[in-house]
Amino acid sequence: MIDFSLTEEQLAVKEAAREFAQSVLLPTVIDRDREMRWSTDEIKQMAEMGFLGMMVDPKYGGGGMDAMSYVLALEEISKVDNSCSVLMSVNNSLVCAGLETYGSEEQKQKYLTKLATGEWIGAFCLSEPEAGSDATMQRTTAVDMGDHYLLNGTKNWITNGNCSSVHLVIAQSDKSQRHRGINALIVEADWPGVSIGAKEDKLGIRASDTHTIMYNDVKVPKENRIGDDGFGFKFAMKVLAGGRIGIAAQALGIAAGAYELSKTYALEREAFGKPIAQHQAIAFKLADMDTFIEAARLLVYRSAWMKDHDQAYTRAGSMAKLYASAQAMRHTVEAVQVLGGYGYVKEYHVERLMRDAKITQIYEGTSEIQKLVISRDIVKGNLYS
């Protein structure tokens, strides 16, 4: 039985994130987006608020919170600033969760303690020029040299590419073993042979720090491998299953943020002698937004609830991401329509949310990949997972 009634603690986290987003992020978000400026001060404050290691055990410097609190916070941040919320999602659900769940005690002491507090930022390096949806096609190699791996290759579209101190790099060690020959390695950004390409000039999440990263004969000590030899692909899949809940929460926040702005505007703006919210053409748009966004919220909360209750959540997370990202795309377009000419200019925020929405259908597995994950689970005969 799923019980979504939120505790006082969860509501306090949501309120704190809302207050932070409105007072700290909102005043500068348009300029940072326009200038593609990485948000140094804002990220520092996010770290101080404990938003970068929310679910990590306090003994490693984290907040010890549940996944429900995390998605509530992410939803509020994403209503305003998705360059900051993607950093938050990657650091929490891919990097910190990956290290905490599968890392050795030494790796946790050395890396997780700094990543959970936000002293360091992490990046998750899976995608390559020729390995996007087909993640087994890794061309980056990690050749076993005895006491270390020699890492060579290029990773593309890496979130936190330049601002991160630690990379979790997925690389092929034994091609003959296909996905079972892949390893996950912890690489420090300032090691010799690591170089960072130019920042990507993107449609949305423009302030987000997206880069290509090149690895040229980088020596990675054996103790920096996560898990057993050949565990890297499964590591990436398991970690991404949780990451998709984060991106689903981001998409929900984008849709909900656009809806809040549309509602406020439609109740104030008058045409033909009354607020436009009272014209059926606009009222029905608000009714659709309210209904479909609430449905997305239930899917997102359901996946977080399942994670918190140790239930298999891979399919639930993919369903939440698939549906919430579609609502983000659809309702941000509608929000621009509701605001009309105002919606088309930067000052009113909805055009940015519309641009930000698209990436939620692409990163951490495209919508088509989510359908693959969901349908494979159905075919296996699982009713609900």
Catalytic residues: 364
Task: Quote the least distance from Cβ 213 to ligand CAA, whole Å.
Answer: 11
User: Which residue, 10 or 210, has its beta carbon nearer to ligand CAA?
Assistant: 210
The CA distance from 42 to 20, in Å, is 10
Residues near 375 by beta carbon (within 8 Å), at least 6 away in sequence: none
| Least distance between ligand CAA and beta carbon 83 (Å) | 12
Task: Select 64 or 230, whichever has its Cβ closest to ligand CAA.
Answer: 230
Q: At closest approach, how far in Å is the CB of 5 from ligand CAA?
A: 29
* Whether the Cβ atoms of residue 214 and residue 45 lie closer than 8 Å to each other: no
- Closer by beta carbon to ligand CAA, 30 or else 237: 237
- Is 241:313 a contact under the CB 8 Å cutoff? yes
CA proximity to 136, closest of 236, 69, 46, 243: 236
Q: Which is nearer to ligand CAA, 151 or 240 (CB)?
A: 240
CB of 373 to ligand CAA, least distance (A): 5
C-alpha 278/C-alpha 353 separation (Å) is 25
Please, are residues 204 and 359 in contact by the beta-carbon 8 Å criterion? yes
Residue 116, CA atoms < 13 Å, CB-side half-sphere: 24
Write down the least CB distance from residue 27 to ligand CAA, Å.
26
Structure tokens at 365: 């597995």
> Tokens 């990675």 — which residue?
220
- Which is nearer to ligand CAA, 10 or 91 (by Cβ)? 91
Interface residues with ligand CAA (CB under 6 A) are 86, 90, 124, 126-127, 133-136, 159, 179, 233-234, 237-238, 240-241, 314, 363-365, 369, 372-373
β-strands 182-188, 210-221 pairing: unpaired
Nearer to ligand CAA among residue 244 and residue 285 (C-beta): 244
Q: What is the DSSP letter of 380?
A: T
Q: Which two tokens stand for residue 353?
A: 């949310």
Min dist. Cβ of residue 157 to ligand CAA (A): 7
Tokens of 378: 């159905």
Question: For residue 95, what is the DSSP state?
Answer: I
Please count the other Cβ atoms lying within 10 Å of the Cβ belonging to residue 122: 30
Q: Please tell me the distance from the alpha carbon of residue 264 to that of residue 276, in angstroms, as a whole number.
A: 11
**DSSP letter (8 states) at residue 200:** P
Structure tokens at 264: 């406020």
Rg (CA), the chain: 21
Tell me the three state secondary structure of residue 216.
strand
| DSSP code, position 233 | H
Residue whose CB is less far from ligand CAA, 264 or 375: 375
* 80: amino acid identity, one letter: V
CB of 275 to ligand CAA, least distance (A): 39
